[in-house]
């Protein structure tokens, strides 16, 4: 199964150009991805393979902001070993590049050194893994380096992470530890590039975090507004277009009933405002707009 294509898709948001960058493919258990939704329902939306896994993307969003290039989430990066890549069905490498994200960034006309601000929705490895990279390049799947042997991927960027999420990521328990790796942020602390911020703060003009707890207690969606148009990068609040119905919530979420309320509140605003929704994990659909159908809220192409 090849990784999702295309590498990048571009559209206008008010006065800004925004680019959906594909950082890789991933295959996760369909049951875990849809929580309490029965398989006969979810497999009509996304069919499973012989290991019951469904194909997903790891989409990041690049914003041509007047204050500089902003990147939201960073994919899985280049540091994980072959066993890890197999377990999660990850295809994130492109010949001639460190990562698929780097290839997508170059395809959009930019280089890692051009990125001025990185924002993480949360610090799970498939969202923040590309924050850092191997200090010594190696073949895909080589043994995973320690945090001491990783470096920031974006040398000129400030990295903005919610303070509550950072505390949660650095105080793990038996259920959460498998998603949080110090190698994805310690090199940023070492270089002085990591900045912890509060939710709902405006990070740059027209760019703010919106707390959307549930997947993790301090998960953030990123709301972008330019010239009267609004987009929201959903992160893991709603990973794919198939997760738009309110009760379609991942089994991975630590507080699924909190996710439900985060989603309900955001959907109300997004429907009224005609917001562009950006899906991080959908293998084929980068974005859409909510509209009222006969059976309730549905997604339409923007
Ligand atoms: Zn996550």
Task: Specify which residues 64 forms β-bridges with.
Answer: 69
Residue 2 falls within a domain, yes or no?
no
- Cα 123 to ligand 1 centroid, rounded to whole Å: 7
**Domain hosting residue 282, numbered range:** 8-300
pLDDT, one tens digit per residue, over 191-208 is 999 999 997 779 999 999
d(CA 182, CA 205): 30
Binning pLDDT at 50, 70 and 90, where does residue 4 land?
confident
Ligand 1 geometric centre to CA of 126 (Å): 7
Residue at 249 is within a domain: yes
Residue 270 in any domain: the answer is: yes
Burial class of residue 243, CB neighbours in 10 A (0-12, 13-18, 19+): buried
- Model confidence at 228, in pLDDT bands (50, 70, 90)? very high
What own/partner pairs with CB < 8 Å and gap ≥ 24 does 44-48 have?
45/242, 46/240, 46/242, 46/283
Residue 1 lies in a domain: no
The per-residue pLDDT for 172 is 97
- Asked if residue 85 is part of any domain, the answer here is yes
Residue 83 backbone dihedrals phi, psi, to 5 degrees: -65, -45
Q: CA 282 to CA 279: how far, in whole Å? A: 6
Tell me, in angstroms, the distance from the centre of ligand 1 to residue 136's CA. Answer: 27
200: domain CATH number is 3.60.15.10
Assess if residue 117 is contained within a domain.
Answer: yes
SS (H, E, C) 21-86: EEEEEEEEEHHHHHCCCCHHHHHHHCCCCCCCEEEEEEEEEEEEECCEEEEECCCCCCCCEHHHHH
Specify the pLDDT at position 293: 86
Residue 227 alpha carbon to ligand 1 centre in Å = 31
How confident is the model at residue 97, as a pLDDT? 96
Question: What was the pLDDT predicted at 282?
Answer: 97
Question: What's the pLDDT tens digit per position in 258-300?
Answer: 999 999 999 999 999 999 999 999 999 999 999 998 888 899 9
Domain count along the chain? 1
Q: What is the mean pLDDT of the chain?
A: 96
Residue 248 lies in a domain: yes
Q: How far is the CA of 254 from the centre of ligand 1 (A)?
A: 10
Give the distance (Å) from ligand 1 centre to CA of residue 236. 5
Q: What is the pLDDT of residue 2?
A: 56
For the stretch 167-187, pLDDT in tens is 999 999 999 999 999 999 999
Structure tokens at 155: 């040398």
Query: Does 31 reside within a domain?
Result: yes
Distance 300 CA to ligand 1 centre (A): 25
The tens digit of pLDDT for each residue in 44-74 reads: 999 999 999 999 999 999 999 999 999 999 9
């Amino acid at each position: 199964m090849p990784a999702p294509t295309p590498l990048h898709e571009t559209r206008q948001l008010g006065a800004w150009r925004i680019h959906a960058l594909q950082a890789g493919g991933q295959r996760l258990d369909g049951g875990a991805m849809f929580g309490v939704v029965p398989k006969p329902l979810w497999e009509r939306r996304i069919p499973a393979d012989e290991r019951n896994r469904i194909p997903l993307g790891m989409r990041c969003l690049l914003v041509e902001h007047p204050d500089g290039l902003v990147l939201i989430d960073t994919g899985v990066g280049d540091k994980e070993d072959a066993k890890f890549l197999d377990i999660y069905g990850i295809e994130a490498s492109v010949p001639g590049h460190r990562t698929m994200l780097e290839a997508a960034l170059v395809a959009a006309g930019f280089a890692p050194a051009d990125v001025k601000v990185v924002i993480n929705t949360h610090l799970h490895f498939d969202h923040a893994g590309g924050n850092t990279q191997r200090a010594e390049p190696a073949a895909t799947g080589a043994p995973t380096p320690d945090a001491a042997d990783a470096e920031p991927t974006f040398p000129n960027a400030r990295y903005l992470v919610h303070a509550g999420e950072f505390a949660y990521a650095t105080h793990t328990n038996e259920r959460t530890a498998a998603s949080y790796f110090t190698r994805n942020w310690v090199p940023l602390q070492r270089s002085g590039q990591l900045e912890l911020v509060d939710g709902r703060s405006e990070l740059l003009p027209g760019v703010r975090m919106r707390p959307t707890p549930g997947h993790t207690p301090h998960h953030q969606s990123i709301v972008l507004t330019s010239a009267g148009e609004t987009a929201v990068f959903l992160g893991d609040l709603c990973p794919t277009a198939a997760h738009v119905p309110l009760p379609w919530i991942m089994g991975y979420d630590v507080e699924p009933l909190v996710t439900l309320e985060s989603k309900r509140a955001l959907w109300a605003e997004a429907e009224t405002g005609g917001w562009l929704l950006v899906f991080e994990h959908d293998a084929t659909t980068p974005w859409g707009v909510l509209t009222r159908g006969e059976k309730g809220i549905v997604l339409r192409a923007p």
